[in-house]
Amino acid sequence: MTQSPSVRPNEVDAVIVGAGFSGLYMLHRLRELGYSTRVFDAADGVGGTWYWNRYPGARCDSESHYYCYSFSEEVRKEWKWSCRYPAQPEILDYLNFVADRLDLKKDIDFGTRVTSGRYDETAQGWVIETDRGETVRARFLITGVGNTSTPNTPKLPGLETFAGKVYHTAVWPHEKVDFTGQRVAVIGTGSSGIQSIPLIAEEASQLTVFQRTANYSVPARNFDLTDEMRREQLDNFEELRRLTLASPIAMAFPVPDTSALAVSAEVRKAKLDELWEVGGFRFMFTSYNDIVVDLQANATVANYIEGKIRETVKDPAAADVLCEFNHPVGTKRPPLDTNYYETFNRDNVSIVSVRTNPIKEVTADGITTANGDHHRFDAIVFATGFDTITGTLLKLNLHGRGGQSLADKWKDGPRAYLGLCSAGFPNLFMLTGPGGPSTLTNFPVCIEQNVDWVTNAIEHMRETGATEIEAAAEAETEWVQMVVDEADKTLLTSVDSWYMNSNIPGKPRVFTAYISGMPAFAETCEDVSRNGYKGFTLRTRQPVEAA
Ligand code: N01
């Protein structure tokens, strides 16, 4: 049973927003150390992104044995993953298992949205309000709101007139949606579209995919894990963890050390053929070390994938649309699939290029494109992604020192030191925040590092009597510049993507992730704390003198 909000304290050491991977571990760490903590989540259960994204085909793209917590040996030994890439229900079960095992739910207010946070400079703490009318004071405000949590639904003219059903992959109904016999549109071909399209196609009478940007998808090659494989993973935990922590993207496989241009075309093809069969992120991230820094190297891999698409898709016109590439491979988040390209060989599936033939309007019975074609639909599925990175943080309506709003401070792009703290917003920690490595890594690893670092900072404050920690403006400026400069050494800043904060019209175009890899980031954070929290100002609140 969870406590009713009314009997929970309204003054605590820390408020955490979000009960996904970040919030759960943060709660565990703080509670273990005796800090009073409350967690708020708008959902009716734990899971964060895995609570909401229930669309058909939703599954993890990182392999299960490292897409999980590492901190608890018990959890590791008691939980059994069924396959290489577990589906959403299994990951949600895992997070519920962890929350129950660590008895976390009793400190979480579900179905409760944080509506505002104001920093009280006198008290040196946050005043947090919720949509249930509660006000809670906390020394620390810690956000674990994820990077892909505010869905983006494009404002298509006439959408409100559509008489059929409208879905978004990121807020999928809890009950099964049955598309049998229906004419369905899927708009968007990022990871969510690419995972859901093959399964929707199996049910729908007619599926039309609206593609704005052709994507380079690689087969996931999921498989069931045997007991022997699971045992091996447990037995080799230390070695796999070492590989994970040494990997820039925090995945348990080796980092490549060869240029794609340093080998002959035959050698390269043999390697890519081999990795294509292995599937998953290993194709992109264990092949060559210069794919996202050198256009020529990039082209070798892009051309290889294009060859695979054209080999798979029988209709040359559909293949042409699927290969309408406008960006180097790997400069947008690479998707993985199961039978994505094969799906376009079905008689009931077609594809429309929104790039050459934009959507003109939605009508009561379908979608009209610029060339005048009208497509009739019973349902429209938006797989159009998220107001990423900053969307949910800004919705928290945070006001820092002097009443400054975070939205105002970030109007030209997010600014945060180490991706965790923003000058003018003391005692606020943003787990997996902008300018950190999270979106370019395997999330749970980055989350554990972020949470451990924040916990240590809070412990350091307790030990030294400090009551306020704030990123210094100069350190933040240097960090933000370094993030952009490092990204500019790669091809990633040459395209529009959600990494570039430019997937939605009107957002400032700026690179939002630390690209130098998880090991370098973790080392930098350690260096900061070893050196007296370099780049931060720590203050101690003076006791109020008795009258
Ligand atoms: O969203 P996306 P997503 N008209 O932004 C298109 C994580 N994730 O939900 O590329 C027409 O990638 C848009 O086109 P364009 C993962 O990190 C993980 O798929 O902007 N089309 C694009 O094709 C991922 O990167 C997993 O030109 C429009 C698509 O919609 C992130 O979440 C699974 C449009 C959006 O793709 C987001 O993925 C799923 C418009 N007006 C997601 N607006 C796993 O680990 C947008 N689009 C498995």
What span, in angstroms and rounded, lies between the C-alpha atoms of 455 and 467?
A: 14
- Return the DSSP state at 11: E
Residue 1 has pLDDT above 50, yes or no: no
Q: How confident is the model at residue 483, as a pLDDT?
A: 98
Coil, helix or strand at residue 428: strand
CA-354 nearest atom, ligand 1: 11
SS3 annotation, 223-258: CECCHHHHHHHHHCHHHHHHHHHHCCCCCCCCCCCC
Buried b (16+ CB within 10 A) or exposed e, 497-507: bbbbbbbbeeb
Atom of ligand 1 nearest to the CA of 382: 30
Beta bridge partners of 17: 40, 143
- Residue % of the chain over a pLDDT of 70: 98
Helices marked H in 323-435:
340-343, 391-395, 406-409
Is the model's pLDDT at 112 over the cut of 50? yes
Contacts of 66 (CB under 8 A, 6+ apart): 240, 244, 250, 251, 252, 442, 444, 445
Asked if 297 and 336 count as a contact pair (C-beta separation under 8 A), the reply is: no
Q: Which of 171, 191, 507 to mutate to test the pocket of ligand 1 (most atoms within 8 A of CB)?
A: 191
Closest CA to 333 of 500, 168, 169: 500
Which residue's CA is the nearest one to ligand 1's atom 25? 333
* Res 3 pLDDT > 60: no
Q: Give the pLDDT mean for 34-41.
A: 98
Q: Whose CA is nearest to atom 17 of ligand 1?
A: 333
Residue 545 has pLDDT above 90, yes or no: no
Give the pLDDT band (50/70/90) at residue 319. very high
pLDDT tens, residue by residue, 487-513: 999 999 999 999 999 999 999 999 999
Mutate to test the pocket of ligand 1, among 192, 329, 355, 509 (most ligand atoms within 8 A of CB): 192
CA dist 139 and 219 (Å) reads 47
**Does 547 score more than 90 pLDDT?**
no
Mutate to test the pocket of ligand 1, among 196, 384, 392, 495 (most ligand atoms within 8 A of CB): 384
Q: Is the pLDDT of residue 2 over 80?
A: no
Nearest ligand 1 atom, CA 154: 41
Question: By C-alpha distance, which of 383, 358, 377, 313 is closest to 163?
Answer: 377
191 vs 384: CA distance, rounded Å: 10
pLDDT given at position 527: 98
Question: Does residue 422 register a pLDDT over 70?
Answer: yes
User: Residues 525-545: what's their mean pLDDT?
Assistant: 92
Q: What is the pLDDT of residue 5?
A: 52
- CA-nearest residue, atom 9 of ligand 1: 385
- Asked whether the predicted pLDDT for residue 450 surpasses 80, the reply is yes
State mean pLDDT over 177-190: 98
CB atoms within 10 A of CB 205: 12
pLDDT of residue 4: 55
Calpha distance 28→43 (Å, rounded) = 19
In the chain, the N- to C-terminal Cα span, in Å, equals 46
Q: What angle do CA 235, 85, 487 make, to 5 degrees?
A: 95
Q: What CA–CA distance (Å, rounded) separates 370 from 24?
A: 47
Find, among 144, 49, 50, 42, the residue nearest to 92 by Cα.
50
d(CA 107, CA 41): 11
Confidence of residue 38 (pLDDT cuts 50, 70, 90): very high
508 neighbors 413 (Cβ within 8 angstroms): yes
Average of per-residue pLDDT values in the chain: 97
Residue ranges of domains in the chain, CATH in brackets = 5-150+388-546 (3.50.50.60), 152-215+335-385 (3.50.50.60)
Q: Are 321 and 313 in contact (CB under 8 A)?
A: no
Helix (H, G, I), strand (E, B) or coil at 89: helix
Listed in sequence order, the residues at least 6 apart from 219 whose beta carbon sits closer than 8 Å to its beta carbon are 276, 279, 280, 336, 337, 338
Lowest mean pLDDT among 5-9, 22-26, 294-298, 520-524: 5-9
User: How many A from CA of 128 to the centre of ligand 1?
Assistant: 32
The reported pLDDT for the residue numbered 546 is 53
Q: Check residue 53 and report its DSSP letter.
A: -
pLDDT given at position 543 = 72
Closest to 284 (Cα-Cα) out of 62, 464, 545, 38:
62
Q: How far is the CA of 170 from the centre of ligand 1 (A)?
A: 10
CA distance 305 to 217: 8
The Cα 392–Cα 537 span in angstroms is 27
**Is pLDDT of 539 > 80?**
yes
In this predicted structure, the answer to whether residue 251 has a pLDDT above a threshold of 90 is yes
Residue 542 confidence class, pLDDT cut points 50, 70, 90: confident
pLDDT category of residue 7 using cuts at 50, 70 and 90: confident
